Structure 1
Amino acid sequence: MPASPMPPEPPQTLDNPARRTLLKGGVGAVAALGLMPLIPVARASLDTLPDYVAWKRQQDLILHGRETIETQRGAIRSGVVTPSRTLFVRNNLPAPDPSINDDPDAWEVAIEGVNNPRNLTVAELKRMNVTSVASVLQCSGNGRAFFPHGASGTQWTVGAAGCVVWTGVPLKHVIDELGGPADGVRFLTGTGGEEIPEGLDPKDIMVERSVPLEAMETALLAWEMNDEPLDLAHGGPLRLVIPGYYGVNNVKYVKRVALTEEETEARIQTSGYRIREVGVGGSPDQPSMWEMNVKSWVTLPLESAHEGRNLIYGVAFGGTRNVDRVEVSLDGGESWQDAELIGPDLGPYAWRPFVLATELSPGDYRIVSRATDEDGNSQPRERYENERGYLHNGWEDHGVTVTVA
């Protein structure tokens, strides 16, 4: 699968901060979409989890807003699979009414752009085939808080990411069952089932994303996450999952999957989630946030450590490629040591925990990590400056300063 076209090196969301407080219609909704000048407002902080995610483990989370909840860096530790109760939450629109999960098998998705298009229920999909895939789920803006120009959107550090196991039917199998792709199609387009406020052009607000047709080969329609029915917060009853691609392309509450000749004209595609210089608006000719780039960060220790032997943990992933090597530096990148990949290898789309055993004397250490994928792509030192604070995989910003007493 080809990598996304990128600026200098790496690869790709519409992450308008007002979107997370979108009102159902009216001036608030229009402003949230950038259709009129935004009036700066103070962001309300949350003390407790919203009802739709009340089942999560709050001490593992950072509550940015109702639709934007980050995993604490230290909550991952050496985990291979991120527990659902710890996984971050990122919604471009408020989640639909919880009643859509009352009878998840009855949920319908329209399959179009094939020779025999039709609507299929989740129950019918479950009878077609089934597979499980481990994949990193990551928001395009993960790492935005490190950008000095103050990129708008949720100020994620490293916690808008997790590694989960999806279970569902391979999309390629569904398409083959329906006669294969129609002639001339070049993109895979998924449409979400969120409610569109009245009075607005659906294209201005709908979650509808297009990715290159090659993604069809690995995509699946998932109804389970981490061996449990897919909950509302993470896209249940049914989610389009595209392993190795940024989270926005993994469309929640998917109600339409179409093989199309052109990319969708929805605003989230035409100008949202585009890579551009600081101060430049989004447009369809700019690179889109598709495949993820190689990335890693330290998860333990974070602030202090004891004198003597220590274990330094972290996670690394390569998007659509296997991680080949992880190096750790204790002096901010002046020298490097090879870390050991630990835990089972769950495939090219999953992350690999790593560990470095080392002796530490009293003092301060700037600990950073650098991953390299199987094609030789390594994390750069610096971030790629861009307007929306996307695709940050620079190792320097992602480091931690640890004091050994």
Structure 2
Amino acid sequence: MSLSDQYPSNTDVQAEPIQLSRRRLLLGSAGAMASVSLLGFSPLTRAEEPKTLPDYVKWKNANEVIVHSANTIETERGAIGSGVVTPSDKLYVRNNLPAPNEQIVADRDAWKVSIKGVNNPKTLTIADLKDMGIETVTTVLQCSGNGRAFFEHGPGGTQWGTGAAGCIVWTGVRLRDVVEKLGGVKAGMNYITSTGGESLPAGLDPKTIQVERSVPTRALDQALLAWEMNDDPMPLAHGGPLRMVMPGYYGVNNVKYVEQVAFTEDQSEAKIQTSGYRIRPIGDKGAPGQPSMWEMPVKSWVTAPLSNTNKGRNMIHGVAFGGINAVAKVDVSIDGGKTWKQARFLGPDMGRYAWRPFVLATDLSPGEYRIVSRATDSEGNTQPPNRTENERGYGNASWKDHGVSVTVG
């Protein structure tokens, strides 16, 4: 495999080879047409589609995911179910670079991470971290491009529907606890900058391809250095042996294979930070002054029914989360948003950063319905009807886009 195959070049340093306009999405190949059901149109039978999982994720449930590429695998919209936690074998995969060799998880406790920008900088092993404390937090993990398939201008990148998201239980040590044991953060530091440990090809400027993300130091209170996911050792595909977890922040900030955490005065100079993952007008290039994909907003979507159902009593299921805040309520409409009824949450509340499955029981007569959901967070922010148009198709929380068209017979 050539370097260009392994490390495709584009303006956002993203290994996202699928670039489809809305028309191509609807009329193109079988793989593209499979995404049509995610848009609320007539679905195809996914059993007819060949599915080949890359070796590093052979343990995934092939019947519950959509394989876009070796580095981009989406959870089927109907695979979420009504539980809070997304099973690891159904969780989406989004890698900016190919996953490292499995040798890095052979001796997990020996993995090293350097902590810089503190008064007593030090390199620590996972074994050291385990002696500093332990915490478990449940969070929504969501790719910045989740919902990209709904944008009309056909932004480049993987055409995610709703399946580049999941709700995960992480276990590790709070970054704040580590920092306190190292004498605290140095004065004047404004960002937490995490660096991934993927192997980089020779001959390229590391800053053009390295996964290194900076977030404001306000994230310190919730940040976690995690070595377990859903009560198992962190899988290689999801950042094992050690991953930075930034609850309430988009997935790209949850850096995998983290080998350095630095408190810095300025944001990283890596391309993935300076021009990648920026909200910018259609046609514009990425630049440091544009909004970065940091905190997530409130969002929800329906997970069942998705295309057809029987007349009479129906249970409309979905998931809702508040992003950086807790989700407070979710309303459901069966007429495209003309009228609303409040749904009820299912299962336990697993914290501010977790999603809440919801259900609305309703009677449906034969006919066509447009089912949508609209969530509100604890601060009163309500999911918007429309998306924010932008070049890369980031941050789509539109309740209109995430609706489904259902035929009742």
TM-score of the pair, normalised by structure 1? 0.91
Distance in structure 1 (CA, Å) of the matches to 2:113 and 2:18: 38
Counterpart of 2:192 (choices 181, 188, 192) is 188
1:306 Cα deviation after fit: 1.3
The SS at the match of 2:218 is helix
Code of the aligned partner of 2:353: Y
Report the CA distance shift for 1:223/1:205 in structure 2 as closer, same or farther (over 3 A).
same
- Identity across the alignment (%): 62
After superposition, residues 357-368 of structure 1 pair within 5 angstroms as 357-368=361-372
Which residue matches 1:331?
335
The SS at the match of 2:294 is coil
Distance in structure 2 (CA, Å) of the matches to 1:323 and 1:266: 33
Which residue matches 1:130?
134
Report the CA distance shift for 1:218/1:147 in structure 2 as closer, same or farther (over 3 A).
same
Residue 343 (1) aligns with residue 343 (2): no
- Deviation digits for residues 20-42 of structure 1 (CA, Å, limit 9, x no counterpart): xxx664x5567514599xxx999
Counterpart of 1:155 (choices 134, 153, 159) is 159
Which residue matches 2:43?
none
Distance in structure 2 (CA, Å) of the matches to 1:268 and 1:35: 6
**Paired residues of 2:19 and 2:158 also in contact (CA < 8 A):** no
The SS at the match of 2:88 is coil
Residue 32 (1) aligns with residue 9 (2): yes
Code of the aligned partner of 1:346: M
Residue 146 (1) aligns with residue 129 (2): no
Residue 105 (1) aligns with residue 109 (2): yes
Code of the aligned partner of 1:261: E
**Which consecutive aligned stretches of 4+ in structure 1 deviate over 6 angstroms post-superposition?**
40-46
Counterpart of 1:96 (choices 81, 96, 100) is 100
Residue 308 (1) aligns with residue 312 (2): yes
Residue 265 (1) aligns with residue 269 (2): yes
After superposition, residues 158-173 of structure 1 pair within 5 angstroms as 158-173=162-177
Report the CA distance shift for 1:404/1:259 in structure 2 as closer, same or farther (over 3 A).
same
Report the CA distance shift for 1:35/1:352 in structure 2 as closer, same or farther (over 3 A).
closer
Which residue matches 1:245?
249
Which residue matches 1:71?
75
Distance in structure 2 (CA, Å) of the matches to 1:145 and 1:116: 46
Distance in structure 1 (CA, Å) of the matches to 2:9 and 2:178: 36
**Paired residues of 2:19 and 2:157 also in contact (CA < 8 A):** no
Distance in structure 2 (CA, Å) of the matches to 1:353 and 1:246: 20
**Paired residues of 1:24 and 1:197 also in contact (CA < 8 A):** no
Code of the aligned partner of 1:94: P
Q: How many residues align?
A: 379
Report the CA distance shift for 1:42/1:288 in structure 2 as closer, same or farther (over 3 A).
closer
Distance in structure 2 (CA, Å) of the matches to 1:366 and 1:152: 28
1:307 Cα deviation after fit: 1.2
**Paired residues of 1:340 and 1:355 also in contact (CA < 8 A):** yes
The SS at the match of 1:85 is helix
The SS at the match of 1:256 is strand
**Paired residues of 1:207 and 1:266 also in contact (CA < 8 A):** yes
Which residue matches 2:216?
212
Report the CA distance shift for 1:41/1:158 in structure 2 as closer, same or farther (over 3 A).
closer
1:48 Cα deviation after fit: 1.1
Distance in structure 2 (CA, Å) of the matches to 1:78 and 1:337: 19
Report the CA distance shift for 1:147/1:35 in structure 2 as closer, same or farther (over 3 A).
closer
Counterpart of 1:285 (choices 270, 282, 289) is 289
**Paired residues of 1:151 and 1:387 also in contact (CA < 8 A):** yes
The SS at the match of 2:203 is coil
Counterpart of 1:355 (choices 354, 359, 368) is 359
Residue 393 (1) aligns with residue 363 (2): no
- Deviation digits for residues 341-391 of structure 1 (CA, Å, limit 9, x no counterpart): 111001110000000000111111100000000111111111110000000
- Deviation digits for residues 245-304 of structure 1 (CA, Å, limit 9, x no counterpart): 000000000000000000000000000000000000000000000000100000011111
TM-score of the pair, normalised by structure 2? 0.90
Report the CA distance shift for 1:33/1:85 in structure 2 as closer, same or farther (over 3 A).
same
Which residue matches 2:259?
255
**Paired residues of 1:186 and 1:259 also in contact (CA < 8 A):** yes
The SS at the match of 1:325 is strand
Report the CA distance shift for 1:199/1:73 in structure 2 as closer, same or farther (over 3 A).
same
**Paired residues of 1:24 and 1:198 also in contact (CA < 8 A):** no
Distance in structure 2 (CA, Å) of the matches to 1:346 and 1:35: 34
Distance in structure 1 (CA, Å) of the matches to 2:104 and 2:267: 28
Distance in structure 1 (CA, Å) of the matches to 2:267 and 2:19: 36
Distance in structure 2 (CA, Å) of the matches to 1:369 and 1:34: 34
5+ residue gaps, structure 2, are: 21-28, 32-49
Distance in structure 1 (CA, Å) of the matches to 2:19 and 2:151: 20
